[in-house]
Structure formats: C-alpha cells, structure tokens
Amino acid sequence: MDFSYITDNQKRFIDELTEFLRIPSISTLPEYKESVQQAAEWTASRLQHAGIEHVKVMETNGHPIVYGDWLHAEGAPTVLFYGHYDVQPAEPLDLWNSQPFEPVIENERIYARGATDMKANVLLPVIACETWLKDANTLPVNVKFLFEGEEEIGSPSLAGFMEENKELLRADAAISADSGRMEEDQPASMVSLRGLAGVQIDVRSAGGDLHSGLYGGAVPNSAQALARILDSLKHEDGTVAVEGFYDDVMERSDEEKETINATFSSDETFQQKAGVDRVYGEPGYTPGEQTLIRPTLDINGLWGGYQGIGVKTVIPAESHAKVTCRLVPNQDPEHVIDLIRRHVERHTPAEVDALVFPLEGKAYPYMLPEDHPGLKAVEEAVQHVEEKSPHQLRIGGSIPVAGLLQQLLDVHTVQLGYSVFDEGMHAPNEFYRLSQFEKGQKVYTRLLQELAEYLE
C-alpha cells in the first residue's frame, strides 16, 4: 500500500477536520448537549463515508457512543479502534487568540478546542480504513470502531456500555488514538497508565455549628476529627498508611525502572516544573517511579467551618475532604475505596461520625504486556513511516478506556496518537500539527497491515 491516496486527499481531510472542530461538543456543559449529539452524528457519517458498515449512534444514559465495523477479512484478527469525539470547555475565552470553535490554520498548525484532544487523532484510523478500502477494496484485518462522547467527564457510561455489548465489541486487540508523544520527532506508545479511585469523607460532630464560648471544651469538633482521620491516611515518610493499600501493587522490573529513570527529567527540573523546594514521596523510589508506576493518595480538597476574613468563634458541626488515589496494576479501584472506608472507620474518633462515599471517575490502572503483538505491530508501522522506533511511555495520569477494555472485555490496548504534549490540551490556543496529521494517517494505514501479521 503506498500513500498516494493520503497525499492526494490531504486537503479534503484537513477540511473535514476543520468541519469536525467547528462542532462545540463540550460534554461537561448541559447546554452543549445538542452539539455533542451533532458530533456523534458527524463521526458516524464520516465512518460510513470511509466504507465502514453497521454504523450506529447508540444511546447511553449520557452522551451517545458511535459504533461501526467492517468484518470481511475472513480468518484475520479483529481490531477495535477507540477514540472520543467530545472536548473540554474552552474557557478562559479571553486567552484565546482566535475563536475556539472557528479553526484557524497558521504555520501548518490548526488551532481549535479539540484539535489535539482528540478530534484529529479520531480521524487517523478512519482515514486509514478509507485508504485501504478505496485503494485495495478490502482491509487486512477486521475492524470495529468505538467512539465515545464522555471521555472528558470520566467516561461514566462506558463500563455499562461495554458490559451490555460484549459480543459486539469482541476483538483481539484495541488501538487507542487518545495518545501522543513528548516531542515532535520522537514517536511514542503509551504502555502504562495509573488508575483512579476517590472518596469524599464527611465528618459530623453536632447538629449545627456551636459557639465556642458557650460550648468550647465540652463538645467534639468535626474539623479536629477530620484532621485526625486525614493524618492517619499517610505515614510521615510519604507512604500510604491505609491498611492493605500496597498488597496488590505490582512490583516492576529493574529494566522498566531503568527505562523510566533514563528518560525522566532530573530531580532539579522536576522540582522546578512542580514549583517545590524538594522532592518528597515514597522512600526507595525515584520521582519518575513515584509518579509513573507507584500508587498515591492525595487530599484534593478540604473544608469546614468559617473561612472568611477575621475571627468567627464557631465550632464547625461538619467538615469534609476529597481524597483520590492514583493506582497501579493490580490495584482495583473498588477494593481501594473499600480499604479507605475501613481505614476511616477504624480511625474515626469515637466522639464524631464519619461517612465515606465513592467519587465518580474511577479508572482501572493499565499496563500493556511488554511482548504484546499489537505493540510489535505499532513499532513496525512507526519504524516504516517515521524511520524511528517509538518510546514506551508510562503515564501517571488516568484514561479509563484501556483499563476497562482489559477488565471487562479481556482486550489489551495499544495506545498510539499523534498529539504532541506541547499542543495545549485542555488549555487556550489548543492546536495540532498538520505534519503529524498526515504522518499519523500513513502510520495507521501501515498499521492495519502490521496488525494482520503480528496479531495472528
């Protein structure tokens, strides 16, 4: 397969991307519900235009999921392509140099909300399939597409959808285009993500706030009790004190640690970026290991009582905290929430009541096996087009899909996207490099062929 179809049609692909970016598919804001629907329909129609069959806009409790497939490669493996068509809000608007939903091309970059996260990447597997179907009238593998509209709000409908459509989504491997690289000229595949589990802790010490002159000394204080509970969550040395927290944690190989440490920034650079005076964390691990392959527990917020100017001598009846954990294989978000709940029960002072309830937005940790054939296929395809081998990236953040696919469908996900991490994801003046767009189309086109070979 040569890439002449891609070259010949590049102007049209950019026009299509521009059209796609004009739809303000902001999943988090209810007033954009229709636009999100419109983006789903646009995606479905684009799939059909590429020659994909059985294209459906499928309803969920939230925004719809777009499905499509082409299953005529008899005896060949089946690949599931994942992406999301929703975007983040564009605020703060005054920091944009152009309108976020009126794409502008300048210096071979297209500026718009959703450009790099991830509408351009969404088109890569679609264009790759179109290229094969137009040029060769066939595909080397069977393909399925799963495009969701809720990634930016934590994919709340995705797990349920997968459970209900296990047969429809069955595949030998998944490829997620919701990915990228650190530098423009260094390709990368994300092979490890941390999971996420969170709780809110609500402490109550009385029926209402009390005057410290009248009651102070003889009644409990919710804020004092919350401090005790929160303090009990971590040891002084930075390790998590929740009983059983580390039990399931996968210890990573020395080689993996070496790889991480070789590519991670120096402590000095890391401190500078974080704006901290010193690194601090689990003893025995480097900052790279701590942030990429070790689990964490962080208080994200806390509040209670009087927070204004001056003095108000109140004994707060209620105090609250939000706590989230980044998880690593083989930790389970539900189990971690349960461990925290039990820990809080054991560490709640007898004079108050504390409730722990799970926060939305849990994600399973994910790690692609080093020897997964899909990774080999990606390496070959990237090498062929870019003449460089992709780095294996570990990410400290969380994206639900890969963990869910593994947990619920037993499918591994190779993550290959053409975003570069300087392209303003979630920020004003988000953009995407058009050179990456074309390169990504070529790599994905080649990838179909490599997948046919390696997934056998």
Report 314-333 residues binding a second copy (CB under 8 A).
314-317, 319-322, 324, 326
Does position 211 interact with a second copy (CB under 8 A)? The reply is yes
Among 221, 331, 413, 449, binds a second copy (CB under 8 A): 221
By three-state DSSP, how is residue 255 classified? helix
Does position 300 interact with a second copy (CB under 8 A)? The reply is yes
Does position 101 interact with a second copy (CB under 8 A)? The reply is no
CB of 156 to a second copy, least distance (A): 10
The residue range among 142-150, 184-192, 194-202, 370-378 that interacts with a second copy, by the rule CB under 8 A, is 194-202
Q: Binders of a second copy among 130-159, rule CB under 8 A?
A: 154
Count CB-CB contacts under 10 A for residue 275: 6
Does position 441 interact with a second copy (CB under 8 A)? The reply is no
Among 142, 155, 189, 291, binds a second copy (CB under 8 A): 291
Does position 29 interact with a second copy (CB under 8 A)? The reply is no
Identity of residue 420: V
CB of 370 to a second copy, least distance (A): 22
Among 281, 335, 389, 427, binds a second copy (CB under 8 A): 281
Among 68, 287, 333, 400, binds a second copy (CB under 8 A): 287
Does position 127 interact with a second copy (CB under 8 A)? The reply is no
Helix axis angle for 4-21 and 33-50, nearest 10°, is: 160
Q: Binders of a second copy among 385-404, rule CB under 8 A?
A: 395-398
Does position 214 interact with a second copy (CB under 8 A)? The reply is yes
Strands 353-358 and 419-420: unpaired
The residue range among 122-130, 170-178, 218-226, 446-454 that interacts with a second copy, by the rule CB under 8 A, is 218-226
Alpha-carbon distance of 88 to 152, in angstroms, equals 6
Does position 250 interact with a second copy (CB under 8 A)? The reply is no
Q: Return the number of the residue (216 or 369) whose C-beta is nearest a second copy.
A: 216
Comparing C-alpha atoms, which of 374, 451, 453 is closest to residue 143? 451
Give the H/E segment covering residue 80: strand 78-84
CB of 312 to a second copy, least distance (A): 6
Q: Return the number of the residue (35 or 222) whose C-beta is nearest a second copy.
A: 222
Q: Binders of a second copy among 324-383, rule CB under 8 A?
A: 324, 326, 349, 351, 359-361
51 φψ region: left (φ > 0), alpha (ψ -120 to 50), beta (else):
left
Q: Are 41 and 166 in contact (CB under 8 A)?
A: no
Does position 257 interact with a second copy (CB under 8 A)? The reply is no
Count CB-CB contacts under 10 A for residue 285: 16
Identity of residue 414: V
Comparing C-alpha atoms, which of 223, 194, 199, 195 is closest to residue 342? 199
Does position 54 interact with a second copy (CB under 8 A)? The reply is no
By three-state DSSP, how is residue 231 classified? helix
Looking from the CA of 358 toward its CB, the CA atoms found within 13 Å total 14
CB of 297 to a second copy, least distance (A): 8
Comparing C-alpha atoms, which of 228, 246, 198, 192 is closest to residue 350? 228
Alpha-carbon distance of 63 to 452, in angstroms, equals 33
CB of 196 to a second copy, least distance (A): 7
Q: Are 445 and 6 in contact (CB under 8 A)?
A: yes
Does position 186 interact with a second copy (CB under 8 A)? The reply is no
Alpha-carbon distance of 259 to 229, in angstroms, equals 37
Does position 262 interact with a second copy (CB under 8 A)? The reply is no
CB of 136 to a second copy, least distance (A): 41
CB of 310 to a second copy, least distance (A): 6
Alpha-carbon distance of 365 to 330, in angstroms, equals 7
